[in-house]
Amino acid sequence: PDSFDVRGGRKYNNSPGPLFFCRCKNHAYRIIQDMLNKYLTLTCLLCFSFFISFGQNKLVIGQWKEHLPFKSGISVTQSDSKVYYGTPYALLIIDKADHSIQKVTKVEGLSQVGVNLVKYNRQSKVLVIVYENSVIDLVKEDGIFTLLNLPESNIILGEKKVYDVFMANDSIAYLAANYGISTLNLNSGLFPNTTKTPVEVHSVHIYDGKVYAATDEGLYTFDLSAGLNIDDFSNWELLVGEQGFPFDYSANALATFNGKLYMGVSDSIYVYDGSQANYVTHMDGLVLSYLSAEGAHLLAGYDCTGEGCSNGRALIIDEAHNIQTIGGLCTNRPRYAIEDQNGVIWYADRFNGYRWLPAGESNCQIITVNS
């Protein structure tokens, strides 16, 4: 939500009660309801009533302020009026109109540090924040709701990782993870379906009534209209050796652009219309890091792999597959990019600064943020 008003507390997934914050004698206490004992009553004595407002830069819970580095954004998403950057420690919000900046940390109500991925659902106005430890915050107009546990997996015994989030509609998001694919209900915070896969899923997408999963084995697909169980991976089909797909390839990024599905095929970009895949382009010596299509162009990022390298490139591709290559001030180690309704491109990059490219130009502007 653009205003980010959080009043009251946070409700945890599978918990019958909320989590409340309070402030007592210049210290902040977080009291979490014991989910194993529903009869335990939580109280906080001698605390002032308060609310946390994300709509203002100043803190409304006192002068205690976290000093965290905001040097670069590693993930980026957008609403109609805001650009949201996930940083290694927190969230940074840039107003599209005046470029004013707002920092959101645990002080303002986030549950964790170490943001890995951010994705905004414009229909429901829900911001999904995925942390490095795979805890998920759902930032809604009525508060922040935290999901502590991803679905259990007998394939991944260690730490679970979420690599991609695809918004299917106003209430359902698909998560691509190292254990497979889960659907997340943004309203309830529950996971209705989980497909456990023998390989990691780097990206997930829905195109023309089918779910596509990009893996190191290639591109898997599931027909949503077939009436089969999506949780049973044997019902998924691997696209290999036919319809223009190579016999041996890995797949990573996915995006729908100009009515067709674009994908990373062993670091080349291919386009697929549901029956035939065709080669579009690639960049020698670089690896494809993302595809994005939220505006008038298809955006692609190519990253370098050597230690200390800084020669990543970003591509701007139009409907006729004319390609503009962007580097220099715009991107060094590209992570993601979005194009807004005004043709401005916002880049997430491992290097310092928040880069944005005005419509029709070739040189980026950089917004520098102090910690």
Q: Where are the domains of the chain?
A: 1-148
Q: How many C-beta atoms surround the C-beta of residue 155 within 10 A?
A: 12
Per-residue pLDDT of 100-143, as tens digits, reads 999 999 998 999 999 999 999 999 999 999 999 999 999 999 89
Dist CA 86 CA 118 (whole Å):
6
**Distances in Å between the alpha carbon of 290 and those of 26, 164, 233, 241, 300?**
44, 10, 25, 24, 6
Per-residue pLDDT of 65-94, as tens digits, reads 444 568 889 999 999 999 999 998 889 999
Q: How many C-beta atoms surround the C-beta of residue 233 within 10 A?
A: 17
Close Cβ partners of 25 (under 8 Å, ≥ 6 residues apart): 46
Of 130, 148, 65, 124, the closest CA to residue 91 belongs to 130
SS (H, E, C) 194-214: EEECCCCEEEEEEECCEEEEE
Average pLDDT over residues 234-247: 96
The predicted pLDDT at position 365 comes to 93
The predicted pLDDT at position 3 comes to 53
Structure tokens at 182: 């889960």
Of the chain, the percentage scoring pLDDT greater than 90 comes to: 67
The predicted pLDDT at position 155 comes to 62
| Whether residue 235 has pLDDT greater than 90 | yes
Dist CA 255 CA 54 (whole Å):
31
Q: Which of 94-108, 141-155, 199-213, 214-228 has the lowest average pLDDT?
A: 141-155
The predicted pLDDT at position 165 comes to 99
Structure tokens at 7: 């009043």
Could you tell me the pLDDT band of residue 19, with boundaries at 50, 70 and 90?
A: very low
Could you tell me the pLDDT band of residue 158, with boundaries at 50, 70 and 90?
A: confident
In the block, residue with structure tokens 């015994």: 157
Dist CA 87 CA 117 (whole Å):
9
Dist CA 325 CA 138 (whole Å):
35
Per-residue pLDDT of 9-18, as tens digits, reads 444 444 333 3
Higher per-residue confidence, 144 vs 22:
144
| HSE-CB of 359 using CA atoms within 13 angstroms | 9
The predicted pLDDT at position 305 comes to 84
Could you tell me the pLDDT band of residue 55, with boundaries at 50, 70 and 90?
A: very low
